[in-house]
Structure 1
Amino acid sequence: MALQGPGETADRTDEPPEDSQLRVDIPSASLQLGPGDGEPILPWDRLSCWIHCICVVGFDLELGQAVEVIYPHHSKLTDKEKTSICYLSFPDSNSGCLGDTQFCFRFREAVGRKASLCYPVDQSDRDAPVYLKRDQGHYYGYVYFRQVRDKTLKRGYFQKSLVIISRLPYVHFYHSLLKLIAPEYFEKSEPCLEAACSDIERWPAPVPGTALSLPIVGVVVKVRIPACYDKPGTTYIDQSAPQNDAQVSLVLPTIHEVDLFSRCFGPVFFHIQMLWELVLLGESLVVMAPSPAESSETVLALVSCIAPLKYCSDFRPYFTIHDSEFKEYTTRTQAPPSVILGVTNPFFAKTLQHWPHIIRIGDMKQAGDIPKQVKVKKLKNLKTLDSKPGVYSAYKPFLNRDEDIIKQLQKGIQQKRPSAAQNAILRRYFLELTQSFIIPLERYLASLMPLQKSISPWKTPPQLRAFSQDEFMKTLEKAGPQLTSHLKGDWIGLYRQFLKSPNFDGWFRMRRKEVSQKLEALHLEALCDEDLLLWIQKHTEVETVDLVLKLKDKLVQAERDQLPVKPETLVKLRTHIEAVILALPADLQGILLKPGTP
């Protein structure tokens, strides 16, 4: 049985360490419910907080895959984005997915397109963990694909995908949502999409730290959006919520986590530590799987295994030969880029044979039946399309293998421990391993902070000292990961390699920005504690006007950049500005109090 072939064209028309001393704590600012005081919220504004649009992708014998419906109808997608959605919404022809299949893909946003943001997006991003922030450069596509026999069609099969397009990496949430919406859609067609979007439009914004009850097609989905200040590994939502006949509730314990063990790392759990190192270092990695579901889940599991660190390189849970980056990623004239690709087409076994690390997984067994463990094999053995499942790599791990976690997982298999328990053990292991690795970096970063007594209201805020690799390495002898981890090995070598990786660059950029904002906030608070009326008595009118303009700039910066300042500090700053202006002559007051004056 075949789906679309390579020659068929698509429609082209239309988490942090638990020790708070190691971090710069950023308090939450007050929620802005709209883009401005008194501004009305336009139709579909709330919808855009959760989804960009919903697409229906069908199969046409002449055109291949085609976008049949986009809802809401005003949603903007470029021709290139539509083409990407078309190809990524269907399994490759060799997958043979009969029945219903769910998977996820990720594609690059068209260059030059202005991002559509919902009204409380600033707070949603500010308070979210780094790995759950909106992806401003890419879209996620969450797919519910149905293929069933239909003798009334020329091809003999009904083939259609319902796809939610969103910037939010809420994998489990959107897959759960599609399980509710898609069967309704295939039965009732487009009116169901209108009803679903109307429901989503009434949802509150996905504000981190908030438990939400979200009605959708007659069901209430209960979720809690994780926040950056959550204790890692803690479940905050009660799964035993009461249900009644009038209103069925679906309680989701997570919005983003995939099943690490039975669905992803089960066949390769002997090598989980090596895979963790490869992801941590941003190595080029290919997952070759028999279906988009297994491909996307494995890639997403790999990306999530270094949480609470954010994976800062590119990753494609499902990648096809039609992707615009295909030539870039398969060329042999340069080293493969830092990216994790999930593929299903056998063609990739040849085109990506030069990549340094390849995971080949076979068909997953039924839940609870863990496939036989696979060995690490040399890349030269990956020659044929029917190569056996395994990890193909010449990589030598920096750390010694943790036999304790291997024995614990093996014991779970022998005792038929529930998959959810195995998954929780593995997720906790990855979390503790990543935290042990990142704590020395956080501790060193804290030492680069200027002393608070160096912050003067009348001087430019001090900056974070430069990160010195040699200086950091010296700290590892007494304050390294050995304080929190029992693992032995070449930790120094692992850190040296990490400091060259995109993940370190992304982590340091983010932390430097947080620290800079914290210093700006402390500077602002120092200014607000000054007696400015006494100050202006000793200075000229020109200097006083200059002070007013600088204070106004500070106020704009605090609100624009969401600086971590207390609401009362901003109130105090506005009071200071008004008091200083009123101390000036009337003509200057009129100019400085005029609306629109900077």
Structure 2
Amino acid sequence: MAVNMAASGEDQRPRGSESSFSSHGHSSRLPNSPTLPWDKFSNWLHCICVVTFDLELGQAMELIYPGHIKLSEKEKMNICYLSFPDSNSGCMGDTQFCFRIRQSPGRKAPSHTDTQWERDAPVYLHRDHAHYYGYVYFRQVKDKSSRRGYFQKSLVLVTRLPFNNLFNFLTEIVAPEYFDNGEPCLEAACHDIDQWPSPQPGETLSLPMMGMVIQVRIPSKQDKLATTPVQVIHQQSTSPIPAPYVLPSLHEADIFKCLHPVLPHVQMLWELVLTTEPIIVMAPSPTVCSETVLALTSMISPLNFCSDFRPYFTIHDSEFKEYTTKTQAAPPVVLGVTNPFFAKTLQHWPHIIRIGEMGNIVSGGRQMLKTKKSSSLKTIDAKPGVYTTYKPFLNKDKNILKRLQKGIASRRPNEVQTAMLKRYLLELTQSFMIPLERYVTSLMPLQRNVSPWKQAPRLKPFEPEEFLKTVEHSGPQLTSGLRGDWEGLYRRFFRSSNFEGWLRARQQEVDDKLQALHLEALCDADLSLWIQGRPEVEVVDLVLKLREKMRFAASNKVCVKDEVLHRLTLHLDGIIRALPEDLRTILKSS
């Protein structure tokens, strides 16, 4: 059953065997069943929360479902405060938005979620093991039966997965039904999700949800980078089975709609996001600010944004003091806010985007410089615009702006405008990253240097100054017509968490590949010949190293063919049989 979390913060899982837990008709685990109840649910969501307004407590957690899920007090507090629009927003009716909060220290993601998904999915869709995403559907309507005169409640999907479009669509289905018909609808929705297959990169899944079917394709790391929107055709069907609703994208933001108010500055914003500069988005509603923040962080795709970002942030957030202190430089985070209080509190931040009502920007999006005087409060009542003293490294590309402005004037479909802007940003990011990828490739050892008789080689260290020497002759100018200080932009990028995250991921990919090549070299080697005449201690050392490598490969950290593992097993058995009986016994039992 659902749990009144305002009354109790305790874990509501029944005592005894977890496999016997049932809250909506789940039976105990069958002898041959590969999963427990809620395992499939946890592949997608952590839990669903309902937050209501209590006259005495303010925003309060009404229930958490499934009932056995445990959230820390800080997590519950942050979810409660972030699930309602700020009082200054004045949102009436239904409002959807997204937030992101830190997980409490020591919390671990379920182990069954970390294998094939994180190996085969694009890095920007990996589970976030340090944060939760909250997808909110808030309703505020007049209600004479309420002492306060209003019905105010939010349904929140809490998850580690950044599937923005899917989860926003899911709240559109579940929340209105729950608000109108109560808890049985929530139970039915959770039961449906617990029947969903695990997200598999490259597959198109049909996901049943409360009488309908959502069809969505899960992106794969092997996908070709798309620059045009998916065209969805809904065909009429005479079948009694309803046609599935095809979701065009699992996660992609409508970046033209979101960035339209700041279109003249899109290239500068790309530089700020690329180098993880601190950015504040001030908007009139949590919907606009959260969508804008998500669009900003996606501007550098397929490069993963590795710094912190908060699509919606309030003064009640537990990190408020950490982010607003004036005793040190602003942290590298993108914050979305609605409360005018932040205009004063965060006016020392170097980059502020102000979006007006309906997303309009005045003066044709003319860039306005934020005053440097700390005593001045000019930005509090300032007009919409981009306030910054940042000087871009690259010259402005006027062609893309002219094309997009022409599309606005001719009322070109939004999907086409988005495709044009996506293509431009993708090509800009690729032009910047290709020289870096080329340099990393030059750091790889030659395959002929992979020897079964030595340790697997590793990637050589990345030397920024050595890389910069290559920029003049084989830099971004080979694929981009933009001119400017590319070297200066690279230097700034090298100081960012985006560079650290990219390099760490590339190093891991290369090292995994080298480990796989080393295993194949061991397969091809005549190990039975090598051990002849060797001291027993060396042979035992070889056995232990082979076992370690096989465990490493079997754990999916390295993509190795089953045939390679089979041949290594045969090698290992042959080596052990060649040892004296006492050693064979010890090794077999270890």
Structure 1 residue 426 corresponds to structure 2 residue 417? no
Q: Which amino acid in 2 is paired with 1:85?
A: I
Q: Which amino acid in 2 is paired with 1:559?
A: A
Pick aligned residue for 2:208 from 211, 215, 218: 215
Deviations 1:491-535 (A, max 9, x none): 111111111111111111111111111111111111111111222
Task: Check the 8 A contact 1:555/1:570 in 2, yes or no.
Answer: yes
Residue 34 of structure 1 is matched in structure 2 by none
Residue 298 of structure 1 is matched in structure 2 by 292
Question: Matched residue of 2:109: which SS?
Answer: coil
Task: Check the 8 A contact 2:54/2:60 in 1, yes or no.
Answer: yes
- Offset of residue 235 of structure 1: 6.9
Residue 72 of structure 1 is matched in structure 2 by 66
Q: 1:424 to 1:398 in 2, by over 3 A?
A: same
Question: Matched residue of 1:299: which SS?
Answer: helix
Task: Check the 8 A contact 1:11/1:86 in 2, yes or no.
Answer: no
Task: Check the 8 A contact 1:224/1:237 in 2, yes or no.
Answer: no
Residue 443 of structure 2 is matched in structure 1 by 448
- Offset of residue 255 of structure 1: 0.6
Residue 569 of structure 1 is matched in structure 2 by 564
Residue 31 of structure 1 is matched in structure 2 by none
Structure 1 residue 468 corresponds to structure 2 residue 459? no
> Separation in 2 of the partners of 1:364 and 1:538?
81
Residue 171 of structure 2 is matched in structure 1 by 178
Pick aligned residue for 2:145 from 152, 167, 170: 152
Residue 305 of structure 2 is matched in structure 1 by 311
Residue 20 of structure 1 is matched in structure 2 by none
Residue 36 of structure 2 is matched in structure 1 by 42
Structure 1 residue 378 corresponds to structure 2 residue 373? no
> Separation in 1 of the partners of 2:403 and 2:101?
38
CA RMSD of aligned residues (A): 1.9
Residue 503 of structure 1 is matched in structure 2 by 498
Deviations 1:191-226 (A, max 9, x none): 111111111111111111111111111111001111
Per the normalisation by structure 1, the TM-score is 0.90
Q: Which amino acid in 1 is paired with 2:543?
A: V
Q: Which amino acid in 1 is paired with 2:397?
A: D
Deviations 1:395-443 (A, max 9, x none): 0111111111001101101110011111111111111110010000000
- Offset of residue 478 of structure 1: 1.4
Q: 1:336 to 1:147 in 2, by over 3 A?
A: same
> Separation in 1 of the partners of 2:131 and 2:7?
20
Residue 86 of structure 2 is matched in structure 1 by 92
Structure 1 residue 494 corresponds to structure 2 residue 489? yes
Deviations 1:4-30 (A, max 9, x none): xxxxxx95953xxxxxxxxxxxxxxxx
- Offset of residue 564 of structure 1: 2.3
Question: Matched residue of 2:157: which SS?
Answer: strand
> Separation in 2 of the partners of 1:13 and 1:390?
46
Structure 1 residue 129 corresponds to structure 2 residue 125? no
Structure 1 residue 167 corresponds to structure 2 residue 160? yes
Q: How does 1:345-364 map to 2 (within 5 A)?
A: 345-364=339-358
Residue 226 of structure 2 is matched in structure 1 by 233
Q: 1:120 to 1:137 in 2, by over 3 A?
A: closer
> Separation in 2 of the partners of 1:536 and 1:335?
61
Pick aligned residue for 2:410 from 408, 415, 428: 415
- Offset of residue 238 of structure 1: 7.0
Number of residue pairs the alignment of both structures matches:
559
Pick aligned residue for 2:46 from 41, 44, 52: 52
Residue 14 of structure 2 is matched in structure 1 by none
Q: 1:429 to 1:384 in 2, by over 3 A?
A: closer
Pick aligned residue for 2:198 from 199, 205, 225: 205
Deviations 1:86-112 (A, max 9, x none): 001000001111111100000000012
- Offset of residue 466 of structure 1: 1.4
Deviations 1:427-482 (A, max 9, x none): 11111110010000000000011111111111111221111111101111111101
Per the normalisation by structure 2, the TM-score is 0.91
Task: Check the 8 A contact 1:211/1:237 in 2, yes or no.
Answer: no
Which stretch of the first structure deviates more once superposed, 278-287 or 501-510?
501-510
> Separation in 1 of the partners of 2:201 and 2:140?
37
- Offset of residue 585 of structure 1: 3.3
Structure 1 residue 112 corresponds to structure 2 residue 120? no
Runs in 1 of length 4+ with deviation above 4 angstroms?
Answer: 10-13, 234-238, 369-372
Query: What 5-or-longer segments of structure 1 have no aligned partner?
Result: 1-9, 15-36
Q: Which amino acid in 2 is paired with 1:355?
A: W
